[in-house]
Amino acid sequence: RAVPERVVTNDDLSKLMDTTDEWIRQRTGIQQRHWAVEGDSATGFSLLATQRALAKAGMEASEIDAIVYATSTSDHFAPGNGVYLQKALGIGTVPALDIRTQCSGFVYGLSIADAYIKSGMYQTVLVVGSELQSTGMDVTDRGRNTSVIFADGAGVAIVQACDEAAGSEILAWDLHSEGEHAGLLWVDTPGSIYHPRNQAEHIAEGKGFLDMDGKEVFRHATTRMPESINAVLEKGGKRAEELALLIPHQANLRISEMVQKRLGLRDDQVYNNIQRYGNTTSATIPIALDEALEQGLLKRGDLLAITAFGSGFLWGSALIRY
Ligand code: UT7
């Protein structure tokens, strides 16, 4: 994982807009988050996270066969960040696939890596979730329901083919979309549907900022994530009590708590760190996974579930034997 150095507290935000530390903690669980400074980039965070992952795995960048890069906040409108990371890593002309499935980005990205590997197409796939949300936040009263939540950072995983004796495996997938709700959590502009794409009025009207109907998103998230985890448990022939760890997308601590309750999981079975990072969109799950591994919460052979829900709507889960 890699996050910007700058820490922004709830009190810092209350100086910019009509909000309080108490409201943010009570409604979201967030105490602080990391926000970029000039010169930082989502590609930069993903490069640092990849270098750290390679060091942990004792691998060289040249061993990576393909990059699957999830971000909803790419450095530029086009091309996506995958090619910039490929260049920064200096690893020849490996394929770089950008995916834009927002908060579900890491789950979808991992599913692509799994399919690449199981088909025999690639052996070692770098899966990235990286975001720089803060430059697109409306830090006025108008944007207070989103700007106190979203944050910056990256997490990556190097996914590699292994023989059965190693025991690690992705056991089951569950992936969904429901586009009729796209307007409940979106960034309207710039969009090619508009003639011309870039319009000064859109900027003035705030259409370039992330816009969310929090209550509706909350309602769907707390239904879809438990449903999806139950689906992978069933497909994998496992029960909730067998899970060593569930890492839910970190959108709101109250959402995670409700998901935990609906699945009947103990506190020690669910990992949350939104308190310190806020919602880093596609990066929340790999950042949390990295912390959980550092804390020794997962050992080889343990059952891990990851689940995400967000803009699209898109959601999904994976059941993993770590
Ligand atoms: O990662 C992608 C998925 N995203 C999510 O899953 C987010 C889901 N939604 C949420 O997390 C919550 O809905 C929020 C945290 C965004 C909002 O919490 P809520 O309990 O649903 O509050 P609300 O939107 O119903 O707003 C309650 C009040 C409103 O004031 P009135 O109308 O009651 O006077 C808001 O204007 O809270 C007000 N409010 C704020 N007050 C202080 C909204 N944002 C803030 C704020 N500080 N930052």
Using a 6 Å cutoff on CB, does residue 102 contact ligand 1?
no
The yes-or-no verdict on residue 165 having pLDDT over 90 is no
Using a 6 Å cutoff on CB, does residue 84 contact ligand 1?
no
Ligand 1 mean position, distance from CA 214 (Å):
6
Ligand 1 mean position, distance from CA 123 (Å):
44
Ligand 1 mean position, distance from CA 144 (Å):
8
Q: What's the confidence (pLDDT) of residue 244? A: 98
Q: How far apart are CA 103 and CA 311, in angstroms?
A: 7
Q: What's the confidence (pLDDT) of residue 194? A: 98
Using a 6 Å cutoff on CB, does residue 144 contact ligand 1?
yes
What is the distance of C-alpha 96 from the center of its chain? 18
Q: What's the confidence (pLDDT) of residue 164? A: 84
Reported as half-sphere exposure (CB side, CA atoms, 13 A), residue 250 has a value of 27
Percentage of the chain surpassing pLDDT 90?
98
Using a 6 Å cutoff on CB, does residue 27 contact ligand 1?
yes
CB-based contact 212:198 (threshold 8 Å): no
Average pLDDT, the chain: 97
Q: How far apart are CA 322 and CA 306, in angstroms?
A: 12
**Element (DSSP H or E) covering residue 261:** helix 253-263
Using a 6 Å cutoff on CB, does residue 148 contact ligand 1?
yes
Using a 6 Å cutoff on CB, does residue 23 contact ligand 1?
yes
Q: Which atom of ligand 1 is nearest to the CA of 279?
A: 1
Quick one: pLDDT band at residue 320, thresholds 50, 70, 90?
A: very high
167-226 pLDDT tens trace: 899 999 999 999 999 999 999 999 999 999 999 999 999 999 999 999 999 999 999 999
Q: Which atom of ligand 1 is nearest to the CA of 284?
A: 1
Tell me which residues are annotated as active site: 103, 249, 279
* Cis omega (within 30 of 0) for bond into 190: yes
Ligand 1 mean position, distance from CA 145 (Å):
5
Q: What's the confidence (pLDDT) of residue 36? A: 98
pTM, two decimal places: 0.97
Across the range 85-114, mean pLDDT stands at 98
10-68 pLDDT tens trace: 999 999 999 999 999 999 999 999 999 999 999 999 999 999 999 999 999 999 999 99
Q: 3-class DSSP state for residue 219?
A: helix
**Amino acid code (one letter) for 30:** I
The yes-or-no verdict on residue 166 having pLDDT over 90 is no
Q: How far apart are CA 53 and CA 296, in angstroms?
A: 16
Sign of the CA dihedral running 2, 312, 13, 307: negative
CB-based contact 311:103 (threshold 8 Å): yes
Q: What's the confidence (pLDDT) of residue 25? A: 98
